[in-house]
Amino acid sequence: MAQYQPQGFSLLPAAVKHLLIINAICYAAYRLLLMQHILDLNYLLGLWHPATGGFRPWQPLTYMFMHANVSHLFFNMFALWMFGNTMENLWGTKRFLIYYLACGLGAGLLSLCIPGATLTVGASGAVYGLLLAFGMTFPNEYIYLYFLMPIKAKWFVIGYAAIELIQGVFYSYDGVAHFAHLGGMLVGLLLILWWRRRPFLKI
């Protein structure tokens, strides 16, 4: 397994920086247009389940740049920075972006298969993919739960996946896309395993 060595790592590599900016701009535009009663960008760019009649072809991509509120945006962007800066420094910008977008697309497509789903917004599926990537790459590095409790990354990932599965099965109507989160992790797992089988693949 790789050993995390932060010396020389950029704290804000290019892709992470631009993703943070794009997400912030999208949220600001959403709030501004909504307050002016001009347009609901989440309605247009969020991912609607086909059964609602609101689905559009661009939504599996655009939904991951939209957020419901400030706390939703903040926690997703904090996690994007926390895990994304390490993975982009390790992989490079191109591979990182392919992985991030693939996890987000996979999460969105899985949410389309969930009965009863309506509107999905947020970068959580892609972020959960990054969490999985960090846990698989640096399984014995410590993550501080609530900034206080140290827990190894591999157990952190397994625990979060288990929680999402349980909540998805038993609390499927709580307004959180639990299976979309799992979809992001599943796509991330498959992509990492595929890359590991082709170590000389150039991306």
CATH number, domain of 42, equals 1.20.1540.10
More confident residue, 182 or 83: 83
138 and 83 Cβ atoms separated by less than 8 Å: no
| Distances in whole angstroms, Cα of residue 67 to Cα of each of 30, 39, 56, 121, 195 | 9, 15, 18, 6, 31
Please give the backbone phi and psi of residue 200, each rounded to the nearest 5 degrees, phi first: -100, 5
Whether residue 125 lies inside any domain: the answer is: yes
More confident residue, 198 or 88: 88
101 and 43 Cβ atoms separated by less than 8 Å: no
Digit-coded pLDDT (tens) for 161-188: 888 777 766 655 555 666 788 889 999 9
Please give the backbone phi and psi of residue 175, each rounded to the nearest 5 degrees, phi first: 85, 5
Whether residue 4 lies inside any domain: the answer is: no
More confident residue, 150 or 41: 41
User: Which range marks the domain in which residue 39 is found?
Assistant: 14-197
Whether residue 187 lies inside any domain: the answer is: yes
| pLDDT score, position 8 | 57
Instruction: Find the DSSP H helices in 14-69.
Output: 14-35, 41-45, 59-62
Segments of 25-135 assigned E as strands:
47-48, 119-120
Asked if the model's pLDDT at residue 144 lies above 60, the reply is yes
| pLDDT score, position 6 | 46
Digit-coded pLDDT (tens) for 85-142: 999 999 999 999 999 999 999 999 988 888 777 899 999 999 999 999 999 999 999 8
Whether residue 5 lies inside any domain: the answer is: no
Asked if the model's pLDDT at residue 158 lies above 80, the reply is yes
| pLDDT score, position 100 | 98
124 flagged as catalytic: yes
| pLDDT score, position 38 | 93
Digit-coded pLDDT (tens) for 40-79: 999 999 999 998 999 999 999 999 999 999 999 999 999 9
Asked if the model's pLDDT at residue 191 lies above 60, the reply is yes
Domain count, the chain: 1
Report residue 86 as tokens.
């390490």
Q: Which residues contact 23 (CB under 8 A, 6 or more apart)?
A: 65, 67, 73, 76, 77, 80, 123
Whether residue 6 lies inside any domain: the answer is: no
| Of the listed ranges 12-16, 47-51, 149-153, 171-175, the one predicted with least confidence | 171-175
Exposure on the CB side of residue 95, measured as CA atoms within 13 A: 18
Residue 189: count of CB within 10 angstroms of its CB: 16
| pLDDT score, position 84 | 96
> What's this model's pTM, rounded to 2 decimal places?
0.89
**Of residues 49, 67, 178, 181, which has the active-site annotation?**
181
Whether residue 141 lies inside any domain: the answer is: yes
**Of residues 49, 67, 111, 124, which has the active-site annotation?**
124
| pLDDT score, position 44 | 95
Whether residue 190 lies inside any domain: the answer is: yes
Whether residue 98 lies inside any domain: the answer is: yes
